[in-house]
Amino acid sequence: MLRQRFVLDTSALTDSTTRELEGYDTLCKGINGIMDIVADARLSFDLSCYVPYPSVYNELHGFAKNNGCDEKVIAKIDTWLVKKTPDRYEVKIPSKIFYEYVDYMRSRVNKGMSVAEDAIWEAATECLFITSNAKNKKNIEIEIERDVIGPIIGKFRDKYRTALRYGILDSAPDIDVLLLAKELDAAVVASDMGIQRWAQQLGLRFVEAKTFPAIIKEYLHHVK
């Protein structure tokens, strides 16, 4: 069998949908179970799973420790995932990719500004209605803060995060995953839509985190 290489994003081991599909009820059990599958595959047909070091590796350790995973789970991460720093100087990426990325980011920022403007107008309109019914300035301020500004700001934050972050690369680990996969000619494993979009731009194979365990199990089934 042709040797298989995968580069794992943090979401490859922490994705909640993956846990549901595989029947794990906690993050620690999910990581532990997926690591067991990876270990079997490594020993059965020399499958290699990489994580960018130190960015994604440190994220995984942080998730495991913050969720109370025991030392056995952390040991499996250290044992079965190959830590490698991407060669940021030698990996060549077409300039057109970065041009499109900058243009895409600009459109996202503009969309975020539009959402902000809508929220401001909505708040101002509601304030005018409330003002006409209030008895004094103090009551106006309390009512606006409790009944208008709070809920609107809450909705604004959700929309703003979605507008700016959905489908984009927004962290160094995301970029490291793509660079390392490009360097190794490996498949990317993630649940992040931004990573998926730019993996396609770079001509990389992409595997959704939720299907990754099932793919490895299928390999193992036929090897055995």
From the list 2, 17, 4, the residue with the least C-alpha distance to 48 is 4
The residues, any chain, with a CB within 8 Å of residue 112's CB and separated by 6 or more, are 160, 163, 164
d(CA 39, CA 16): 21
What's the predicted TM-score (pTM) here? 0.73
Q: For 134, left (φ over 0), alpha (ψ -120 to 50), or beta?
A: beta
Superfamily for domain range 5-93+171-223: 5'-nuclease (3.40.50.1010)
pLDDT at 24: 95
User: Per residue in 60-116, pLDDT tens?
Assistant: 999 999 999 999 999 999 999 999 999 988 888 887 887 787 778 778 777 888 888
Q: Cα–Cα distance between 189 and 211 in angstroms, integer?
A: 9
Domain ranges of the chain: 5-93+171-223, 95-165
Ranges of residues in the chain whose predicted pLDDT is under 50: 1
